[in-house]
Chains A and B, each alone.
Chain A
């Protein structure tokens, strides 16, 4: 069966420090991968998605970047965190070559606090 791992679960970082959040998927190949941010326990904002290794699409301009160095690994990074980067970050995957009717599978999330 497929599983998705996301870590760390919580992270407290000072303003201006770098960030690296990692997400890995097991039990499937060539998944579509996503990074979302959820502010204040409400709506989700799609940050990045990837349909293959090295293929990253950014939905909003911001202080963050994403990379996909391996088929089932998706990394969210920042060189210098801002206060506004605080939030709940969610990684998700869907089957590769997915059509619009495929559901997303979410990781358990990372609560990032920038102080």
Chain B
């Protein structure tokens, strides 16, 4: 069965420190990989995606993600966290029928 794992239910980071939100997946073939962010009581917003090419993908709001094929991981990163980055983050690889497989989400809390 195809699946995605976001092993951390919550990540706490001090403002100004680097952050990492982890994602690993088990999907056949070469899936496309997405990160979305959800602010409280809102819909999701697209952050970035990996299709092919450079393993480091840059996205919105200073976020980037590193694709690692051997580890089937797609971790979200940011060099310096802001309080406004506090939100719920979803990793979503595409499945074999082109639908997205959604992770359970990781709550990111940035403390001033």
Contacts and interface: CB of A to CB of B under 8 A. Distances in A.
Interface range on chain A: under 10, 10 to 19, 20 to 34, or 35 or more?
20 to 34
A106 B103 contact: no
Nearest to A90: B43
A114 B43 CA distance: 20
Contacts of B103: 43
Contacts of A105: 46
Interface string B90-109: 10001000111011110000
Question: For chain B, what secondary structure do more than half of its interface residues adopt (helix, strand, loop), or is it mixed?
Answer: loop
Contact of A43 (B42, B43, B102): B102
A46 interface: yes
A99 B49 CA distance: 13
A44 B45 contact: no
Given A99-B98, A106-B45, A43 B32 contact: no
B78 to A, nearest CB: 19
Interface of A: 6, 41-46, 49, 59, 90, 92, 98-101, 103-109, 111
Interface of B: 31-32, 34, 36, 41-46, 49, 51, 88, 90, 94, 98-100, 102-105
